[in-house]
Amino acid sequence: MPGARVANAAMPLVIAGGDILDRSGRRRADVVVRDGRIETIETPSEPDAAARVIDATGCVVTSGFVDLFARLGEPGNEEAETIATGSAAAALGGFTAVVAQPDTEPPLDRSGELAELRRNAAAARCHIVPAATISAERAGTRLSPMAELADAGVAWFTDVGPLGDAGLLRRALQYVGPLGGTVSVRPSTSDLGGDAAMAEGAVSARMGVAGEPSASEELAAATAIGVARLTRGRLHLDRISAARTVELVRAAKADGLNITASVTAEHLFFIDADADTYDPLMRAEPPYRTAADREALVAGVVDRTIDAVVSGHSPVPPQAKDLPFDEAPPGIAALETCAALVLGHPDISLDAALDALAWRPAELARAMHLGGAAVAPDSPANLVVLDLDRPWTLRERGSASMARNTPHRDRPMSAMVRATVLEGREVVADGELCPAAENGIRP
């Protein structure tokens, strides 16, 4: 992919003529960046001749996106993705920070692995926010050293899937609450087909593929919410997919519980019938459900019951998808397309999309300094410039990710990330990756 011009670190950067949009509202102004921070917000004028200028005319300027779920390959799955390629894909997708999932090999369950991740992420093209496992060795039997990990800066704990032991979940919520952390689980019940390739229903029956009933997710979500009610801990329900789960989250929030939830961009578009071609690229985690479920998920994003839209980025080697539908691993390589799908969704407003992609997930990850913050003087310059009317396809632009497991390669997108600015440096310019030499950012 061709490189684009990069500003010298001492040179001011001016994002000129765009519409700034954050929670305070929308206004047209120039953003002047110096030494990694926003220096001033000015009335549009003739920029300093010495400045590097991003022409944002007709574009939206907002804080960088924050992804609460991305698998980045290292360590253990480097044949599918590395931190270098995954973070480049994230930058192209407008993410200035991603929460790296700890289901690596070995899993991130102690300070040694955490230090290694940070060393490997030192030159990433986005900020890497480490998550750690709930259980030691991700075995689901005893807690990881949460206090030690929290002292080292970890605020997000997850085993990256179901946590079937309610007692362990209770201990985790009790333990991590005073540490200021969040426990994240994907609600699913193994006894009810939690590993099935499809959602149970008429489509799975017609295909002859075993399905997971929505009750699998609903029962697990209800149990987890019940444990959170008991402990008053911070619980995140990761990548929900069922209408009833949205109702449970809405009711829990109305009761004042500290419950949050996320959904993948794909679950706002696809339903089970979209997988009836047996295309392995359409095997998702969790499986796609009915049109009514999709409608409820969209409504949950719009009314903020669902706090975040995540990429759910799950890269696999190309040969891994060369299997029958029900044998292929689930998941999509989604960092480059996630935001574009949400921003182009016909039923989701721009404010709701940015709330779910940037503002709210940054709060949940305790990463407002890395993305999602107000576009205001003295804020860190982690920003994205969006052209909401610039069509593109992944195939035409090319992909930075090593993974090719996406059903979106030829999907027309209507929103492009024109520029991504990381601590004052352009990592994406004119829709293309900048040279990496000047972009070594330590998380």
Mode of pairing for the β-strands spanning 37-42 and 25-34: antiparallel
pLDDT at 5 over 90: no
Residue 107: per-residue pLDDT: 97
pLDDT for 64-106, tens place per residue? 999 999 999 999 999 999 999 999 999 999 999 999 999 999 9
Note the Cα 412 to chain centre separation in Å: 21
Q: What confidence tens digit (pLDDT) does each residue in 299-326 have?
A: 999 999 999 999 999 999 988 999 999 9
Q: What tens digit of pLDDT does each residue of 179-208 get?
A: 999 999 999 998 887 789 999 999 999 999
User: How does pLDDT run across 112-127, given as a tens digit for each residue?
Assistant: 999 999 999 999 999 9
What's the mean pLDDT when you consider all of the chain? Answer: 93
Task: Choose among 294, 390, 392, 306: nearest CA to 353.
Answer: 306
Distance of alpha carbon 9 from its chain centroid, rounded?
28
CA dist 209 to 192, 215, 281, 331, Å? 14, 18, 16, 17
The confidence score (pLDDT) of residue 436 equals 66
* DSSP three-state, residue 65: strand
Matching residue, tokens 């982690």: 382
Question: Of how many residues is the chain composed?
Answer: 443
Give percent above pLDDT 90 in the chain.
90
The DSSP result for 91-119, as a single string, is: HHTTEEEEEE-S-SSS-S-SHHHHHHHHH
359: alpha, beta or left, given left = phi > 0 and alpha = psi -120 to 50? alpha
Model confidence over 141-191: pLDDT tens digits? 999 999 999 999 999 999 998 998 999 999 999 999 999 999 999 999 988
DSSP class of residue 438 equals T
Whose tokens are 């295909």? That residue is 207
* CA pair distance 56, 180, nearest whole angstrom: 38
CA distances from 167 to 171, 223, 230 (A): 6, 11, 11
* pLDDT on residue 48: 74
- Residue 355 DSSP symbol: I
* pLDDT reading at 439 higher than 70: no
Q: Choose among 249, 264, 426: nearest CA to 437.
A: 426
- Band (pLDDT 50/70/90 cuts) for residue 441 is very low
pTM of the model: 0.94
Share of residues in the chain with pLDDT > 70 (%) = 96
Q: Spell out the residues 6+ positions from residue 306 whose beta carbon is closer than 8 angstroms to its own.
A: 240, 246, 249, 261, 262, 263, 297, 300, 356
Give 342-375 pLDDT, tens digit per residue: 999 999 999 999 999 999 999 999 999 999 999 9
User: Residue 2: pLDDT above 60?
Assistant: no
Q: Which residues contact 437 (CB under 8 A, 6 or more apart)?
A: 6
For helices 243-254 and 214-231, the axis angle rounded to 10 degrees is 10
Q: How many helices (H) and strands (E) does the chain have?
A: 12, 19
State the average pLDDT over residues 44-58.
85
Q: Could you give the angle at which helices 291-302 and 243-254 cross, rounded to 10 degrees?
A: 30
* Cβ atoms 61, 385 nearer than 8 A: yes
Q: What's the distance, Cα to Cα, between the start and end of the chain in Å?
A: 25
The 3-state DSSP class for residue 313 equals strand
- CA–CA separation, 107 vs 396, rounded Å? 36
Phi, psi (rounded to 5 degrees) for 223: -65, -45
Model confidence at 10, pLDDT cuts 50, 70, 90, reads: low
Dihedral over Cα of 31, 32, 38, 41: its sign = negative
Q: Are 224 and 169 in contact (CB under 8 A)?
A: yes
Q: What is the pLDDT of residue 227?
A: 98
Rounded distance between C-alpha atoms, residue 90 and residue 96, angstroms: 7
